[in-house]
Structure 1
Amino acid sequence: MGAESSTAMNSDGNNKNVETQVVLNVYDLTPINNYMVWFGFGIFHSGIEVHGKEYGFGAHDFPASGVFEVEPRSCPGFIYRSSIVLGHITMPPTEFRTFVENAASEYHGDTYHLISKNCNHFTDDISWRLTGKHIPGWVNRLARLVMAP
């Protein structure tokens, strides 16, 4: 289930985007998720797929963006679980690229925190900005439970 888009040529020969899907790709961090999901829990990584590329957020030790781009549904180190269509946008690929680069400036690798600013917080933020919808609650449930008073 990949993000599909259709394009049309405008009068000066440049592509303009008509519509593309915003897809949440969810991964298991551990095979134990196969048992934990029956109890409503799991430890997940997620990425946002738009225009045939997937964007995620990860940790590193530098004050530079932790946002990265991978081929959809193939994030290294994780076990692909499922894809969820979050909505559709009409944003040309070049405009979307600028959008992601701007958002990435808010997600430095050295600010990653497993509970308060993880990959799922990133995908939720991007989904909200693009579609006005949050990612499904179960994707980041464990972090929310740990943060609860």
Structure 2
Amino acid sequence: MASFSGFASCEIILHIYTIDINGGLPPPSNFLSKVTNFFHEKIMTPTGFGTYHTSLDVGGFNYSFAATSGITKTKAIDPTSPQALSSCPPGVSYTQSLILSSSSPSPSSLSKILNSLSKTFTPTSYHLLNRNCNHFTEALTLSLNLPSYPLYLNRVARTGTLLIKHEICEVKKEAEIARGNKIITKEEKKNKSKKKIITEKQRKALEALKK
């Protein structure tokens, strides 16, 4: 498991890149592909259903998640630079950067959060719809108590998961775990509810004995 520690204090910045569905290749010439490209560029993206890649700068380092490499940590640099773009998936173009916070967490806090997230965001767990780069940056953002993550970034994935049966990344739950909070399962909630009912019955029984 990778260890994440040692960084300089700075702003927390979310970098957003738009993904070309052609993967950076020239647009296909056949009619169906042209229709698909038109639908994606002129209809889906303007209505909040575009496809995006994201990474997060925290404390002078850039964190991202990808297939085969898992969570990666590199020195934060200009996102428009050739070096930064070369580390992104093929066919992406830089869109914008959002400052989410003017201060970063302590090195120890960030290290604990990232080490926790690395247990689920592994090199082999990447899935285009259920566990992608946007799931990671959203989970990390929530882990840092920054609720201002743009929901449109992963809208396509969330919509796609409604059509398939697969283990879906629950970013809020994983963020809670990364912060060290205990997650109460449905079974635990059910058992807790049963205990309350039993206690209430016992109370009524005791009141009846007193009469």
- The TM-score, its normalising length taken from structure 1, stands at 0.71
Distance change in 2, residues 1:37/1:67 (3 Å): same
Deviations 1:4-61 (A, max 9, x none): xxxxxxxxxxxx97x632211111121767644323221101111112221100001x
- Percent identity over the alignment is 26
Are 2:143 and 1:129 aligned?
Answer: yes
Query: Counterpart of 2:72 in 1: which secondary structure?
Result: strand
Counterpart residue identity of residue 64, structure 2 = G
**Which structure ranks higher in relative contact order (CA pairs < 8 Å, sequence separation ≥ 6)?**
1
Equivalence map 1:92-111=2 (5 Å): 92-93=106-107, 95-111=109-125
Give the number of equivalent residue pairs: 129
| Kept in 2: contact 1:89–1:131 (CA 8 A) | no
Equivalence map 1:22-33=2 (5 Å): 22-30=12-20
Distance apart, 1:103 and its partner CA: 2.4
Inter-partner Cα distance in structure 2 for 1:90 and 1:56: 17
Inter-partner Cα distance in structure 1 for 2:148 and 2:13: 12
Distance apart, 1:98 and its partner CA: 4.9
Q: 1:119 aligns with which of 133, 149, 171?
A: 133
Deviations 1:118-140 (A, max 9, x none): 11000010000002415211110
Query: Counterpart of 1:110 in 2: which secondary structure?
Result: coil
Q: Is the deviation greater in 19-28 or in 115-124?
A: 19-28
Rg (Cα) greater in structure: 2
**Counterpart in 1 of 2:197?**
none
- The TM-score, its normalising length taken from structure 2, stands at 0.52
**Counterpart in 2 of 1:54?**
62
Q: 1:40 aligns with which of 16, 28, 48?
A: 48
- Return the structure number with greater helix share: 2
Q: Is the deviation greater in 48-57 or in 75-84?
A: 75-84
Counterpart residue identity of residue 26, structure 1 = I
CA RMSD of aligned residues (A): 2.7
Inter-partner Cα distance in structure 2 for 1:52 and 1:81: 20
Inter-partner Cα distance in structure 2 for 1:140 and 1:75: 20
Counterpart residue identity of residue 142, structure 1 = V
Structure 1 unmatched runs, 5+: 1-15
Distance change in 2, residues 1:54/1:90 (3 Å): closer
Query: Counterpart of 2:124 in 1: which secondary structure?
Result: helix
